[in-house]
Chains A and B, each alone.
Chain A
Amino acid sequence: MEGELSGVLNRRCVEAAVMTGLALNCHINKKSLFDRKHYFYSDLPAGYQITQQRLPIAANGHLTYSVYMGKKRSQMTTKTVRIKQIQLEQDSGKSLHDDLRSQTLIDLNRAGVGLLEVVLEPDLCCGEEAAIAVRELQMILQALGTSQANMAEGQLRVDANVSVHHPGEPLGVRTEVKNLNSLRFLAKAIDYEIQRQITELENGGEILNETRSFDYKLGCTVSMRDKEGKQDYRFMPEPNLPPLVLYDATSLPADADSQQVVNIDQLRDMLPELPSATRERLVQQYGILPEHSFTLLNEVGLLEFFQSVIKETRAEPKRVINWVLNTLLYYLKQQNLAVSESPVTPAALAELLDLLDSKAISSSAAKQVFEELWKGEGKTAAQIVTEQQLELMQDREALEQLCQAAIDGHPQVVMDVKNRNPKAINKLIGLVRRTSLSRADPTLIKEILERKLSL
């Protein structure tokens, strides 16, 4: 009789919760309890949701993230948002609204499946900060293998609680904003709601403690408030679930059944490299800047692309990162493409960088080749170079002749150079580049010109 009353919990959910708690620097509660949260909605067949309201599995942690400030976004500041708690709970079913037939459709496949709710303290100040913090959380969950955290697919769901107050005063009344299924909309909705609240208060109105939904098309939040007023969830201890007990190296019982025992210390040892550590490692390993490292991780698939190129090219990491961030990523963003959709493969870029590295082509020629590769017509970098005759002139003598011709043909510019006009030499270099059809290394041109003009 006793055993039959008792519910059962998926071990993997517990491990995932502990690892997430550890990654977010939380205190793990060795004993946590389950509660029932009652409300009626068609996607909740039992009429209650099992959650951990009184004593959750983890609490009092923090999440650190980096914000890029300044006009060029080059100044990096580290910020922290405190984690109030992490709790295990049940998911409800999924409801779809069939507006055509004015009915709700319910899919119960995910009802009862384990969820992890991460509750943050109100330390975030705006939409952008929230998006960055959630992105970091997303990357941590992905690194841990706890969740694929894809917002569009509902694997990571975010509700934003927003309030405004004058500095020094207590927090204002908050509204809860739901229906946010991308980081972009998360930021937009929060910023809209902040502004709405400020405007409302400045006009002498008041903020209601209500739930609002983000309307994508209108770009604003809309009240979902029920005329019933505040919900009373009638929390009560879950009678069918005993406390969840976790152990560590010191409290591990001697005769423990390994299936029944979750060892916090063992899980801590198994934690994979987290994004912050990965970023550090990349900076050390490749000699790149922290901002570069940040972007490599932030763009899905970019780190893998970068590492593939590194593997296949002789070029230095600094040069590779420059091309990956300033050229490849730029092109991708222009056409709103994901890294996985890039017409230029890592192998193609690696080949291009090898040509550049061996000084077979100039950097401006390389840009042209990239432009051509981007068309995705299947040509290799080498083929494009040959077709468009972009090879650097290997004939030193021919180059010397072109330089001489430029000198002879532009006495005024030569005069300016001799008069120490700093811009004049560049003009002369430009002239030679034109006559050489960009097939000469500008550094070499400068060297030859300077020698000829006895500078």
Chain B
Amino acid sequence: MWARALRVRFPVPLDRGRGFASKAGPQGKVQEVRQGTHSPRLASQGAGRVPAAKIEHLERLALVNFGSREAVARLEKAIAFADQLHALDTDGVEPLESLLEDRCVYLRSDNVAEGNCTEELLRNSHHVVEEYFVPLPGNVSLPDMVNKTPSPTAE
């Protein structure tokens, strides 16, 4: 019963004083994280620094640009803040993966209900060739990377 109550209330932000991680947040002191839970640890080293290689990897994956040391520091603080989750004993509690978990996906019938809006859709793009969209050359264009030929997913 306690575990169930925990699950329901968890989405509430920790800095509201409920649950056990009180008075914690990016600005305030961070409560020490208890080791030994079985949840996966987020990548960090030593005093919570994220290695440069990992920053670059994240930038490529998410197409964000951390740009400055401050931005990376903010990321590290955010990770440390989230790490407080490990303070909770979640043994025997199934993870909440979706707020929709008690429902079933709605099945629609196999009827065409919309379409025939080719012109309207093609107008969304600056560059169109014979009803094809033309994307920017190269797969992903980042300022510090050389354009490369489009590549479908590697494993």
Task: Give the interface of A toward B (CB within 8 A).
Answer: 5-12, 14, 33-34, 38-42, 95-98, 102-108, 176, 178, 209-211, 224-232, 234, 237-239, 241-245, 259-260, 262
Contacts and interface: CB of A to CB of B under 8 A. Distances in A.
A295 B110 CA distance: 35
Nearest to A7: B105
B100 A40 contact: no
A239 B107 contact: no
Contacts of B106: 6, 8-9, 260
Contact of A243 (B104, B108, B131, B134): B104
B61 to A, nearest CB: 6
Given A178-B152, A262-B107, A96 B132 contact: yes
For this complex, into which size category does the number of interface residues on chain B fall?
35 or more
B132 A8 contact: no
Interface string B95-106: 001111101111
B110 A224 contact: no
A72 to B, nearest CB: 41
A226 B110 contact: no
**Of B109, B129, B151, which is in contact with the most chain A CB atoms at under 10 Å from its CB?**
B151
Contacts, number: 125
A41 B107 contact: no
B107 A105 contact: no
B60 A228 contact: yes
B143 interface: no
Given A102-B137, A107-B132, A9 B103 contact: no
A102 B133 CA distance: 14
Contacts of A42: 133, 135-136, 139, 150
A106 B136 CA distance: 11
B29 interface: no
B105 A224 contact: no
Contacts of A237: 97-98
Contacts of A14: 107
A14 B104 CA distance: 13
Contacts of B108: 8-11
B109 A259 contact: yes
**Of A96, A226, A227, which is in contact with the most chain B CB atoms at under 10 Å from its CB?**
A226
Contacts of A9: 105-108
A229 to B, nearest CB: 8
A14 B108 CA distance: 10
Contact of B105 (A8, A210, A211, A225): A8
Nearest to A232: B61
Nearest to A42: B135
11 contacts: A6-B103, A9-B108, A40-B63, A41-B153, A42-B150, A103-B137, A104-B150, A105-B129, A237-B98, A239-B99, A241-B100
**Of B98, B107, B135, B148, which is in contact with the most chain A CB atoms at under 10 Å from its CB?**
B107
Nearest to B115: A109
A38 B63 CA distance: 12
Given A6-B103, A14-B107, A244-B105, A211 B153 contact: yes
Given A244-B105, A262-B107, A224 B154 contact: yes
A227 B148 contact: yes
Contact of B150 (A41, A211, A242): A41
Nearest to B97: A237
B61 A234 contact: yes
A210 B154 contact: yes
Contact of A231 (B63, B130, B137, B154): B154
Contacts of A6: 100, 103, 105-106
A232 B134 contact: no
B135 A230 contact: no
Contacts of A210: 154-155
B94 to A, nearest CB: 12
A245 B108 CA distance: 14
A178 to B, nearest CB: 7
Given A9-B107, A242-B105, A260-B107, 12 more contacts: A6-B106, A8-B107, A40-B139, A41-B153, A96-B132, A103-B137, A104-B137, A106-B135, A227-B148, A230-B154, A239-B99, A243-B104
A39 B135 contact: no
Contacts of B137: 102-104
A6 B106 CA distance: 8
Contact of B152 (A5, A38, A105, A211): A211
Contacts of B110: 10-12
A12 B112 CA distance: 12
Contacts of B97: 33, 237
Contacts of B33: none
A344 B137 CA distance: 53
A239 B150 CA distance: 29
Nearest to A245: B104
